[in-house]
Amino acid sequence: MKTASRILGTAFFLEGFEVQDAPRYGAERRGAPIFAYVRASRKAINERGIIRRPDLVIVADDTLVPVPVAGVLIGVTEHTVLLINSNEKPEVWKDRLNVSGQVLTLPAAAEEEDRLEVRFVGATCAGAAARLVGVISRASLVQAIRDELAHLGATTIDKNLAKALEPYDLVASHAGSVTPGQEVRADAYQNPQWVELPFEDARVSAPAIHAAATSKKVKTGLWRTMRPVICYSRCKRCWWVCSTFCPDGAISLNHEGYPQIDYEHCKGCMVCLAQCPRHAIQAIPEHETEAKTSAGEEV
């Protein structure tokens, strides 16, 4: 999404706009949700930092919508256009999320058929956004992609161009539906909601920080949006490559020598999936595993 924000930022810049683009890395761990934002204006932009009142919100991965830390709907009003990369219909999302503004979807089919397509989702989002704002020409979008991906070579540039131009055409009928919101005065922002906390001994208020060997108590499994699942019929108990590469020590061996994943601490980085020589590990969206578990299916 950082690349998507840079493509969009450069496209605005090529159209003569003042612009800002910036990523926020959140927990700075592979597998944790991230977002990026773009501001564009004909005038100098003095405001910086996270956008609190977005005119357009793009969700590249619809599994993030129910994840509280992803904060997908923060600041969304009736003015905001919400674009979700999802195989469900816009009406379904509009109803489910109870939002009053315009909701659009991009078909996520390609990524579901082939997970390798996921890496092009940034170009897809940037292409759609460039059309929705209504002020970016096809030529500027193409030039922005060429500029931002110059170091990746012609093949990657061509693939990204195709991935961006398809949604650029797809949302043509909605061109210009994203319009500048009203300028917000600095004093119109809500003050931080301070929470008064009673004084507590540090050992009580922050036991995980102040005591030794407590990392087990910190359930980092909550960060996960995708779950690695070992297919034991394919696992050959090799040299336990998955367990060796797991950066969090979340894969241990059971008494039969099969690896097992500790989902309370697995952050969903998918390093195991990438390393498994037998391709015996699958990635399943977290919300699907919950649905299957409640239906009594084995995942």
Nearest to 54 by CA among 67, 35, 69: 35
| Residue among 3, 8, 10, 268 that touches another protein (CB under 8 A) | 10
**Position 209 contacts another protein (CB under 8 A):** yes
- Least spacing, CB of residue 40 vs another protein, in Å: 11
Residue 291 within binding range of another protein, rule CB under 8 A: no
Among 30, 45, 52, 152, binds another protein (CB under 8 A): 45
Q: With binding defined as CB under 8 A, does residue 23 bind another protein? A: yes
- Of 32 and 108, which CB lies nearer to another protein in the complex structure? 32
Does residue 28 belong to the site contacting another protein (CB under 8 A)?
A: yes
- By C-alpha distance, which of 33, 35, 31 is closest to 21? 35
Q: What 3-state DSSP class applies to 120?
A: helix
Stretch that binds another protein, among 10-18, 74-82, 108-116, 227-235 (CB under 8 A): 10-18
- Single out the residue of 74, 154, 162, 206 in contact with another protein (rule: CB under 8 A): 206
Residue 23, φ and ψ in degrees, nearest 5? -95, 155
Structure tokens at 63: 């599994």
Going by DSSP bridges, is the β-strand pair 259-261/251-253 parallel, antiparallel, or unpaired?
antiparallel
| Nearer residue to another protein within complex by CB, 202 or 231 | 202
In whole angstroms, what is the distance from residue 38 CA to residue 51 CA? 8
Q: Say whether residue 220 binds another protein (CB under 8 A).
A: no
Query: Please, what is the minimum distance in Å from the beta carbon of residue 256 to another protein?
Result: 39
Q: Restricting to residues 49-78, which ones interact with another protein according to CB under 8 A?
A: 49
Q: How many binding residues for another protein (CB under 8 A)?
A: 18
> How far is CA 73 from each of CA 10, 26, 104, 182, 209, rounded to the nearest angstrom?
26, 16, 14, 19, 31
What's the number of CA atoms in the CB half-sphere (13 Å) around residue 216?
A: 3
Q: CA 243 to CA 253: how far, in whole Å?
A: 8
Nearer to another protein, 109 or 211 (CB): 211
Binding site for another protein (CB under 8 A): 6, 9-10, 13, 18-25, 28, 45, 48-49, 206, 209
